[in-house]
Copies of this chain bind each other. A is one copy, B any other.
Amino acid sequence: MKAEKLRKFEYIFHPRTVAVIGASNDDGFSQALMGTKLRDNLFLVNPKHKELHGKRCYPSILDIEGGIDYVVIAVPTLLVPKVLAECIEKGVKAVHVYTAGFSETGLEERKTLEDEVKEIARGKISLIGPNCMGVCCPRSGLAFIPDSSTEEGPVGVISQSGTFAVEFLSIGKLRNIRFSKVISYGNAINLDCPDFLEYLAHDSKTEVIALYMEGTRNGERLKAAMTEAARLKPVLALKGGVTEHGHRAASSHTGSLAGSPEIWSSLFRQARVIQVEDFDELLDTTLALSCAPLPSGKGTAIITNSGGFSVLETDLCVKAGLEVPQFTKETIAELRKMVPLAGTGINNPLDAWPIYYNMPGTTGTLADAIKTLSHDKNIHSIVLHFDEVRYLRHVFGEATENYLKELVEIMVQGCRYARDEMGRTVMICVSLDAYTEDEEDRSYHLLAKKAFEGERFPVYPSLGASIKALSNLYRYKAQCRNP
C-alpha cells in the first residue's frame, strides 16, 4: 500500500482530534467517544447547545480553533451537503456520515442528494458512509457504541451494515473476541469495502478479517482486494442477500447491486476466502481463527459428560465434514485404567462422566484423560464439552463452587497440554441456555467459561457452534493454506 494511501487511513483509524457534528445529550457517538482515550481530543458541534457532556459545544465545525482530523456527521439528511462542505473548508481529513435517508430509500431525489454528497467529497476528503456506524479502533479510542471493547486484539471487521457491526462487536465482546478495527461502511460512496480490505490486509495489528457485505459496485476490484488479503491472513465472508428475497431486502437496505449467490460463492472460492452462512458462524469462526492453532487433520475427539449427546455430537461433527475416529488400542487401554465400567463409553466420543465427579473407581483426572487423548495419532482436534453443572451441584452441594474451580483448573491444564505441547486444536463448549434463570447455575457456567478464556481457548455456548467453527478451521487449513 502506498505511503499516501496509508497516511489517509492513519487519519481515519488514529485521528489526533475528533468532532461530532449533530452531537446531543443522548447521541451514541458522543457518549461512546466520551468513554475512551479520545475524550480530551473530542469536539462537539451543534448550534442548539452551548455545552454537552460537560464540554463546550460549538455552533459549527468552523468555530473550533485547532485542526480536526476526523468528523462524525450525525445531522438530518438534508443538512449533510452543507456540513460536509464546512468540514472540507476546515481541512478535516476524514468524515464518517452516520446519517441515513439516501439512495437506500429507493427514492430518486435521495439518490440525487447522495450523488451531490459524493461529488462534494471527491478528491477532497475521505468519506465513510453514509448510512453506517463508521469506525471502532480500540487502540486509538474511536468507538461507535458506549462500553465497546477497549482491549485491542487481532480481529478486523468490515461490514456493510451498521447493525451488523454493532452486534458483531457487542456479542464478540461477550465471546472474548478482541478487535483491531471494526468498520461499518454503509452506502460506500467514497471509501468502499476493497479500500478497507487493502488496509487491513497490510495492517500489522490485524490477523483475521471478517467481512459482511450485501453487494458491491466493482466485483473485479473486490476480488483483487480479497485475493491479496487472503494471501496474507485468513479472510471470512458472509454474503447477505443470497436468496432472491434477501437480495431484494439487501438492495433496499444499502442500495447496492447484489449478484447471484453462485457468482458470489465462486468469487469467494477463487479469492480463497472462507464463505460462511450466517452471523453466528462468522462470529464463532472468527473467534477460533483468532486464538486456536489450525488442525492438522479431520480427526476429532469429543470429550463429554453426556452419553446421550455423544451420538448427536458425532453426527454434528461428521455432517460438518470432520471425522470422529476410534481411538487407538493404546489410548483405549490407558483410558480404561482411569474410568470404571458402568454407563461409560471408552470410545470416541469419550463418555467419561464419572471422571468429572471423582466417582469411586476412577483413577487419574480429566487432565490425564485429555493428555492421553492428545497423544493419539488419529486425533488432531479435541472438543471438550462441559455441562451438567446441575449434576455437580447434586453431588457436591455446598462444596460445588470449590470443587468446580478445582475441576476447571484440571480441565484447563489438560487442554493446555494438548494445545501447547501436542499442537492439537482444542475447542471448548460450556453449554448454557440463553433463557436459563437459575442464577447459581449461570454463575458456575460463566466461571468455567472465563477460566478457559483466560488461557485463550475459544469457548462456545453450544456444541453445534464449537463443531462448526472447528470444521471451518479445517476448511481454511485445507483449502486456503495447503492449496
> Which residues in A have some Cβ–Cβ distance to B below 8 Å?
26, 28, 31, 76-77, 99-101, 105, 107, 131, 146, 159, 161-167, 170-171, 174-175, 214, 238, 240-246, 248-250, 252-253, 278-280, 306-319, 323-326, 341-343, 345, 347-349, 351, 390, 394-395, 432-437, 446, 449, 461-462, 464
Determine if B314 and A243 form an interchain contact, defined as CB atoms under 8 angstroms apart.
yes
Complex: chain B residue closest to A345, CB-CB: B252
Q: How far is the CB of A185 from chain B (nearest CB, A)?
A: 12
Cβ of A313: which chain B residues have Cβ within 8 Å of it? 249
Determine if A312 and B278 form an interchain contact, defined as CB atoms under 8 angstroms apart.
yes
Cβ of A434: which chain B residues have Cβ within 8 Å of it? 432-434, 461-462
Cβ of A101: which chain B residues have Cβ within 8 Å of it? 341-343
Determine if A245 and B307 form an interchain contact, defined as CB atoms under 8 angstroms apart.
no
Cβ of A461: which chain B residues have Cβ within 8 Å of it? 433-435
Q: How far is the CB of A439 from chain B (nearest CB, A)?
A: 9
Determine if B308 and A161 form an interchain contact, defined as CB atoms under 8 angstroms apart.
yes
17 interchain pairs, CB-CB under 8 A: A28-B394, A31-B394, A101-B342, A131-B343, A161-B308, A161-B309, A175-B435, A238-B312, A241-B314, A245-B324, A249-B313, A249-B345, A278-B315, A280-B464, A433-B434, A435-B449, A435-B461
Partner of A312, one of B76, B246, B449: B246
Partner of A279, one of B26, B174, B312: B312
Alpha-carbon distance between A280 and B324 when the two chains are bound, in angstroms: 22
Determine if B433 and A174 form an interchain contact, defined as CB atoms under 8 angstroms apart.
yes
Cβ of A314: which chain B residues have Cβ within 8 Å of it? 241, 243, 245-246, 248-249
Q: How far is the CB of A48 from chain B (nearest CB, A)?
A: 15
Known: A26-B394, A278-B315, A434-B462. 17 other contacts (CB 8 A): A31-B394, A101-B341, A101-B343, A163-B309, A166-B308, A167-B308, A171-B433, A175-B435, A238-B312, A241-B311, A245-B323, A245-B348, A249-B311, A249-B324, A250-B311, A433-B461, A437-B446
Complex: chain B residue closest to A102, CB-CB: B342
Cβ of A214: which chain B residues have Cβ within 8 Å of it? 311
Cβ of A278: which chain B residues have Cβ within 8 Å of it? 312, 315-316, 464
Determine if A100 and B246 form an interchain contact, defined as CB atoms under 8 angstroms apart.
no
Cβ of A243: which chain B residues have Cβ within 8 Å of it? 314-315, 318-319
Cβ of A395: which chain B residues have Cβ within 8 Å of it? 26
Alpha-carbon distance between A118 and B166 when the two chains are bound, in angstroms: 60
Complex: chain B residue closest to A436, CB-CB: B174
Cβ of A162: which chain B residues have Cβ within 8 Å of it? 308
Most B-side CB within 10 Å, residue of A161, A315, A349, A435: A435
Cβ of A170: which chain B residues have Cβ within 8 Å of it? 390
Q: How far is the CB of A358 from chain B (nearest CB, A)?
A: 14
Q: How far is the CB of A277 from chain B (nearest CB, A)?
A: 8
Alpha-carbon distance between A274 and B347 when the two chains are bound, in angstroms: 31
Alpha-carbon distance between A249 and B349 when the two chains are bound, in angstroms: 7
Cβ of A167: which chain B residues have Cβ within 8 Å of it? 306, 308-309
Q: How far is the CB of A318 from chain B (nearest CB, A)?
A: 4
Q: How far is the CB of A120 from chain B (nearest CB, A)?
A: 19
Q: How far is the CB of A211 from chain B (nearest CB, A)?
A: 14
Cβ of A240: which chain B residues have Cβ within 8 Å of it? 311-312, 315
Determine if B161 and A311 form an interchain contact, defined as CB atoms under 8 angstroms apart.
yes
Determine if B308 and A253 form an interchain contact, defined as CB atoms under 8 angstroms apart.
yes
Q: How far is the CB of A245 from chain B (nearest CB, A)?
A: 4
Determine if B435 and A315 form an interchain contact, defined as CB atoms under 8 angstroms apart.
no
Determine if A307 and B253 form an interchain contact, defined as CB atoms under 8 angstroms apart.
yes
Q: How far is the CB of A319 from chain B (nearest CB, A)?
A: 6
Cβ of A343: which chain B residues have Cβ within 8 Å of it? 100-101, 131
Alpha-carbon distance between A309 and B248 when the two chains are bound, in angstroms: 13
Cβ of A449: which chain B residues have Cβ within 8 Å of it? 435
Determine if B394 and A163 form an interchain contact, defined as CB atoms under 8 angstroms apart.
no
Q: How far is the CB of A478 from chain B (nearest CB, A)?
A: 19
Alpha-carbon distance between A243 and B315 when the two chains are bound, in angstroms: 6
